[in-house]
Amino acid sequence: MALDLPLVNPYLDKSADFSGGVNFAVAGATALDRTYLLQNAIIMPPGNTPLSSQLDWFKSHLNDTCQQDCAKKLGGALFLVGEIGGNDYNYAFFQKRSVEAVKAYVPLEVIELGATQIIIPGNFPIGCSPSYLALFSAAGSTDHDERGCLKSYNAFAAYHNEQLQAAIGDLRKVNADISVVYADYYGAFLHLLDHAAVLGFDEGSLLKACCGAGGEHNFDMDMMCGGIGASTCADPARHAVIANVKRAKEHVFNFKGHRVLNRNRVHDHLTLMDDYFTLDVLFVDNFYQSFRMHKNVFDRLYHDIQSFEDYFILKKDGMGRIGFCGYQKCTAALRMLAYGTTANSWNEYLRMSESTCGDAMVRFTTAVIEVIGPRYLR
């Protein structure tokens, strides 16, 4: 997993150890209750366990485990809620509802669980899903984008995410003491598709399920993964999609309750700039030794990469805080490459976590190959 953490045990496994967290999620579950969906003629499997039932499990778990110190436990825990609504849309679309009709089901409220640190993921780009591609692709259609995904369904997922982010913004306004973060599953999965080779995925199977029953996208509604006639690919780790379930969850957003550090990013951005990048730099004679390149080469490389990849442009993060600047990210990447250091070795100086440094190096090297490669890497 991305953070080298174990999977969180499922709530219904009563013999499991929940000291590291508990998982209330159910595969195929909906956000809306069965009654609401049936009133709108949306049929789902009999075993559907909606969000309301999962919340009841959560409350029951609290009653069983922390009658006296629940507030303390919740205050130190991290909650991952979602992604919410994806299966509601799946059942509707698979029953031939139009995109405009399904927009009416987009939930506009986020349920506050009483925690102090909540992550709420958006929806994936469902137009890149093997199931949607297998069911809704038409010969000669102009609905496919440059990745081969269905533009109309991705636009719907983006609409859902816009509504969700607006609701999260409203939630923050009335809960100023709670950290509510939007997790961009949509952008993460597109990044995975665009940088598949660098991330270790098979570029020839990005829009094909690892487990399925053949066809262009290895998906058949009548022979689902695990059923008779379905088969599994030889190397699941190199597939972006297992059984219509995106691996971006594993590679980008595998969370567990942990302490969130105030890294004082602005202070350390200013320190780095004073050390190497302002007019009156502190280490005026040490740039080459620190970066293994001359300052003018770094400047040209930095501006080329920033123009190619907006990841290196200073922005606010999901909680509205100033993020890491491009100089911090490029410095982390270059020093790991130049000195062979590990991703966690720059925490003290650059205030960047191991995962952020690792991500910066992957994006940096990808950008270098794409931007500089045609000129110099021949």
Query: What is the C-alpha to C-alpha distance for residues 373 and 378, in angstroms, rounded to an integer?
Result: 7
Element (H, E) at 118: strand 117-121
Detail the DSSP E strand segments found in 134-239: 179-183, 211-212, 231-232
**What six digits make up the tokens of 78?**
């991290």
The structure tokens 């219904």 sit at 12
**What six digits make up the tokens of 159?**
């609409």
Cβ(339)–Cβ(354) below 8 Å: no
Is pTM beyond 0.75? Reply is: no
End-to-end CA distance of the chain: 34
**To 10 degrees, the CA torsion angle through 324, 325, 326, 327?**
-110
**What six digits make up the tokens of 105?**
């089901």
Residues in the chain with pLDDT values less than 50:
1-2, 102-113, 246-261
Cβ(361)–Cβ(337) below 8 Å: yes
Q: What's the mean per-residue pLDDT of the chain?
A: 75
Query: What is the C-alpha to C-alpha distance for residues 221 and 245, in angstroms, rounded to an integer?
Result: 15
pLDDT at 106: 41
- List the domain boundaries for the chain: 34-201+245-251, 265-376
DSSP labels, 329-367? HHHHHHHHHHH---GGGGHHHH---HHHHHHHHHHHHHH
Instruction: Phi first, then psi: give them for residue 362, nearest 5 degrees.
Output: -60, -45
Query: What is the C-alpha to C-alpha distance for residues 110 and 290, in angstroms, rounded to an integer?
Result: 47
Crossing angle of helices 265-272/326-339, nearest 10°? 70
pLDDT at 146: 92
Nearest to 169, CA basis, from 155, 182, 183, 156: 182
Query: What is the C-alpha to C-alpha distance for residues 21 and 17, in angstroms, rounded to an integer?
Result: 8
Query: What is the C-alpha to C-alpha distance for residues 102 and 349, in angstroms, rounded to an integer?
Result: 49
